[in-house]
Amino acid sequence: MANYDYYRIFYYVAQYQSFTKAAEMLRNNQPNITRYINNLESELGCKLFIRSNRGVKLTPEGENLFEHVAIAQEHLRLGESELQKEKELNSGLITLGVSENALRIFLLDHLERFHEQYPHVRLRITNHTTPEALESLKNDLCDFSVVTTPIDLPHLLQVSVLDHFEDILICGKKYKELSLKHHSLDEFKDTPFVSLTSQTGTRNFYNQYFLDNGVSFHPDIEVSTTDQIIPLIIHNLGIAFYPRKLAQPYLDKGEVYEIPLFQSLPHRKVCLVKDPNKSQSIASSKLIESLTHR
């Protein structure tokens, strides 16, 4: 196959029907352009141009070749244009595997600012439990994950801590009396608990917290998402652990109440997890940078 540069020069000569004009556009000189075309004709074994004092004209073989070369040139031009847009963050796609609490506690505010700055970058956000988000990352279904601890980290994945948060124990009006003093966990044996299902990292965290304090944790009501907990608490179906940041608006309005504990809950983390061996797009790298270098 002939050198790509030959085809590029052929395209410009055919486009402008002039060796001189093609040389100007390519910032070259006419003798070089003529030599390249002669070489291409020699390699292909046919004449591509008819030369005259008024310029050049494509032969039938040249016209046939030009149809294909023009399409290739247009594809290359579009490719360069798309790449330039991505470099300037005027296009691009970022796929995120995100746990619900990480999204609501930390990520939403930062995505809002990123989207304001780069409105043409598309975001594809998949909502997972922490284990599911890490599995999605391991299977190359997302660019990176933002999740909450605890994390059972698969091999070779890299973690950056983005934020810290605390969980508190909350109740509705029916259990308001519990908010008036500190309690030990073993005092809640007869009090119904609302919690996430056992497939979540959050539930694993609470299970371990209870075990560390010599008590077993057996919720009476299990839900699949964090945002289902608050309505159940407001309607007095039990008590529940909930991130303070997310509970604060309901605490301020007096819809739920904090139950103080003697055994304080360990603070948890919001983490960015990525595969260090995976090449990130320009857009994805920019978002990672904005999240980790605040």
Task: Summarize pLDDT for 2-41 with one digit per residue, the tens.
Answer: 788 888 999 999 999 998 899 999 999 999 999 989 999 8
Q: Can you tell me which residue has the tokens 């070779």?
A: 156
pLDDT at res. 2: 72
Q: Architecture of 167-266 per CATH? A: 3-Layer(aba) Sandwich (3.40)
Residue 131's nearest CA partner among 111, 157, 107 is 157
What phi, psi does 66 have (nearest 5°)?
A: -60, -35
Between residues 114 and 152, the one the model is more confident about: 114
pLDDT at res. 88: 66
Is the separation of the CB atoms in 201 and 139 below 8 Å? no
Average pLDDT, the chain: 92
Q: 93-164+270-292, what's its fold?
A: D-Maltodextrin-Binding Protein; domain 2 (3.40.190)
Is residue 17 left, alpha or beta, with left meaning phi > 0 and alpha meaning psi from -120 to 50?
Answer: left
Is the separation of the CB atoms in 243 and 167 below 8 Å? yes
Between residues 199 and 211, the one the model is more confident about: 211
Mean per-residue pLDDT, 128-153: 91
H helical segments located in the chain: 4-16, 19-25, 30-44, 60-87, 100-102, 108-117, 130-138, 201-212, 229-234, 244-252, 282-292
pLDDT band for 76, please (50, 70, 90 cuts): confident
Residues 82-140: tens digit of each pLDDT: 777 767 677 789 999 999 999 999 999 999 999 999 999 999 999 888 989 999 998 99
How far is it, in rounded angstroms, from Cα 88 to Cα 16? 32
Mean per-residue pLDDT, 199-207: 91
pLDDT above 70: residue 160: yes
**CATH 1.10.10.10, the chain: domain bounds:** 4-87
Distinct helix (H) and strand (E) counts, the chain: 11, 12
Q: Following CA atoms 50, 51, 57, 60 in sequence, which dihedral angle do they give, to the nearest 10 degrees?
A: 10
59-69 in b/e burial notation, b at 16+ Cβ within 10 A? eeebeebbeeb
pLDDT at res. 84: 76
Q: 4-87, what's its fold?
A: Arc Repressor Mutant, subunit A (1.10.10)
Joined tokens for residue 170: 């909350």
Is the separation of the CB atoms in 201 and 269 below 8 Å? no
pLDDT above 90: residue 54: no
How far is it, in rounded angstroms, from Cα 260 to Cα 272? 31
pLDDT at res. 3: 82
pLDDT at res. 52: 86
Q: Per mean pLDDT, which range of 103-117, 143-157, 180-194 is the poorest?
A: 143-157
pLDDT at res. 294: 63
Q: For the whole model, what pTM was predicted?
A: 0.73
pLDDT at res. 128: 86
**CATH 3.40.190.10, the chain: domain bounds:** 93-164+270-292, 167-266
